[in-house]
Amino acid sequence: MSPFVHRLYIGAMATVVILVTCHLAYSGYSYYYTPLEERFYHPNHAWFKASGIMGHGLGIVGTLLIVFGVFMYIARKRSKSLARFGRLKYWLEFHIFLCTLGPVMVLFHTTFKFGGIVSIAFWSMVLVVLSGVIGRFIYLQIPHTIEGRAMSLNEVKAMQTDLGEFLKSSNQLDENSYAAVIEATRPIKSERKGNLIASMVSGYFQGQRNLRQLKGTLAGYGISRTDMRYIVKMVRHEMSLNNRIERLQTMQNLFRYWHVAHLPFALIMLVIMIFHVIITLLFGYKWIF
């Protein structure tokens, strides 16, 4: 999948989630905004209530999307035969899409009324979604091979190039320009070592300042705009790689801890969801069947 097609792939999934959310919120706004004790008298109560045609359907479709998204991704991770159907990265992105769209539908299925044991499943689902967002962020900080395998520290270091020497020989940089490039690519040491997020945020802005200073320095030494864009692009990539190397061990440990937290919430959600479906069927709620 080319970078352009990949952007379309991500954009299409994000658009679907946004459009579905906006449509459900717009079409049912008057009902969901009505106080709980007055909803029975709403003209669309039979349609939007949790056991109604629309409400019940959202619960069924949302549940199926979540279940399919979870087990599809687990199957891809554990089965080598599925590797020929796409990189693990793309399967993860589709898993995130299904497990975002599904909970949105389940949220509207509840009509924003939470109570009883089902509320445990709902809040577990919310925690699964939130932890999934955090897990995706951590996942992106760890370099992966094209097959989706996490790279070791030595493999990441092997990706580094002697950028300064390369640019010095290919762009005939003088000593001052060469020194500016080397300084810009050094890993950013944040003063906020005790706070990872604050450290990454401050490091990002420091990196942007370094790039701006580098542009000014190169412009002062007479580097052309075309060469400057090329140099800055390579420096930006090298900065990102150096910072990832600095954080690699921390991110790998966080990813292991994340699995420990993510899985129990997912299991709680699935178990209570199964009981909810069984009880619903026992009470005779069969939707349109």
CB distance 153 to 250 below 8 Å: no
Place of tokens 């954009």: 11
Tell me what pLDDT residue 221 has: 61
Q: Phi then psi for 264, rounded to 5 degrees?
A: -60, -40
The C-alpha atoms of residue 242 and residue 188 are separated, in whole angstroms, by 9
pLDDT tens-digit series, residues 120-172: 777 777 777 777 777 777 777 666 544 455 555 555 555 555 555 555 555 55
Amino acid (1-letter code) at residue 202: S
The C-alpha atoms of residue 143 and residue 75 are separated, in whole angstroms, by 22
Which residues have a Cβ under 8 Å from the Cβ of 10 and sit 6 or more positions away? 93
The C-alpha atoms of residue 231 and residue 214 are separated, in whole angstroms, by 10
**CA 188 to chain centroid:** 25
Tell me what pLDDT residue 168 has: 55
The C-alpha atoms of residue 116 and residue 275 are separated, in whole angstroms, by 13
The C-alpha atoms of residue 107 and residue 148 are separated, in whole angstroms, by 32
The C-alpha atoms of residue 34 and residue 123 are separated, in whole angstroms, by 23
**CA 52 to chain centroid:** 33
Instruction: State both tokens at 87.
Output: 């990189």
What does each of the 289 residues of the chain score in pLDDT, given as a tens digit? 777 888 898 899 999 999 999 999 999 889 988 888 888 888 988 888 888 888 889 988 998 998 898 888 888 878 878 777 878 778 888 988 998 898 899 889 888 887 666 677 777 777 777 777 777 777 776 665 444 555 555 555 555 555 555 555 555 556 666 666 666 666 555 555 556 666 666 766 777 777 777 777 667 666 677 777 777 777 777 777 776 666 666 777 777 777 677 777 778 778 888 887 787 777 777 766 5
